[in-house]
Amino acid sequence: QFGFKSHHSTDMCVYALKEIVRYYLSKSTPVFACFMDASKAFDKLNYFTLFEKLLKRKMPVLIIRIL
């Protein structure tokens, strides 16, 4: 959401991400990341049908709630 806030830029986002990764790597903790561009993915979608299908395929509820 950095691109939609005043005085925030993608540079700030990249910096924050790098600092978070650096912190966890310094603690010898594995770091996992997922990047998704969903800007147009949900324009013309029936959410109920999508979530119902994801639940039937045993997608974790937490992931569905994030979507």
- At 9-47, the pLDDT tens digits run 778 888 989 999 999 999 999 999 887 777 676 677 788
**Has residue 2 got a pLDDT over 70?**
no
54 Cβ partners below 8 Å, 6+ apart? 63, 64, 67
Read off the pLDDT band of 54 (50, 70, 90): very high
The token pair that represents 58 in the structure block: 């045993």
User: What's the CA gap between 4 and 16, in Å, rounded?
Assistant: 16
Instruction: Quote the pTM value.
Output: 0.48
Nearest to 51 by CA among 42, 37, 43: 42
Q: Is 80 exceeded by the pLDDT of residue 1?
A: no
Query: Is 61 in contact with 67 (CB distance < 8 Å)?
Result: no
Q: What is the pLDDT of residue 21?
A: 94
Show the tokens assigned to 45. Answer: 């979608």
